[in-house]
Amino acid sequence: MTVATAIVVSATFIYNDIITIIMKSLIAFYSRTNITKKLAEDIAGKVNGDIEEIVPKVNYQGKIGYARGGKDAITEKIIDIEPLKHDPQDYDMVYLGTPVWASKASTPLISYIKLNEGKFSNVKFFATAGGSGLDSTLEQMEKYVSIKPAATLALTTKEVKKDLYEEKLAEFLK
């Protein structure tokens, strides 16, 4: 490697780090079992972003909440959520995260997207699932946001629980 090449490579890394620092990011997510929350917090730490945990006014905890969540996701029901701390239009990048419910995005996340309709200029999507439905969930999110995401990340519960996602996360955050 020549000195000139080394300088260009170093400058590129510095430039990318500066862009990451300057870019204002919001990580908005819903998590019923804290799997998606773990991933959201990891993303926030790596991009130095603000976190917006979406809190539904509907109880989705326990077995009855699980069943209610599946039913609400299938019908794409819009629900009330607790007041938000951050306005997504104030951010350069908004990361939207959800667990998969019945092969769809969680009802609280879809409700958040509807509440903030037209406020997203640049987005990345992340989803977690115990099994299948990741692709259809990401497609549904794109339909509701009405813009193509800059990147998507789909992980299984197992990958998140066992911290088996560093390479995928690094690619997602580029």
- 107, 56 contact by CB (below 8 A): yes
- pLDDT tens, position by position, 31-81: 999 999 999 999 999 999 999 999 999 999 999 999 999 999 999 999 999
- pLDDT tens, position by position, 14-40: 555 554 457 899 999 999 999 999 999
| Mean pLDDT, residues 102-128 taken together | 97
Provide the CB-side half-sphere exposure for 24 (13 A, CA): 8
- pLDDT tens, position by position, 88-99: 999 999 999 999
Q: How far is CA 147 from the centre of its chain?
A: 15
Contacts of 123 (CB under 8 A, 6+ apart): 93, 94, 95, 96, 145, 147, 149, 150
- Candidates 55, 63, 62; CA nearest to 30 is 55
Q: Which residue has the tokens 């990401």?
A: 138
Binned at pLDDT 50, 70 and 90, residue 102 comes out as: very high
Strand partners, 95: 27, 124
- pLDDT score at 4: 46
Burial 42-76, CB ≥16 within 10 A → b, else e:
bbbeebebbbbbbebeeebeeeeeeebbbebbeee
| Mean pLDDT, residues 95-108 taken together | 97
Give CA–CA dist 128/151, Å, rounded: 15
Q: What are phi and psi of 132, to 5 degrees?
A: -100, 180
Percentage of the chain surpassing pLDDT 90?
86
**Is 12's pLDDT higher than 80?**
no
What does the DSSP 8-state code read for residue 116? T
Residue of higher predicted confidence among 23 and 161: 161
Count of beta carbons in the 10 Å neighbourhood of residue 162: 9
pTM for the structure as a whole:
0.87
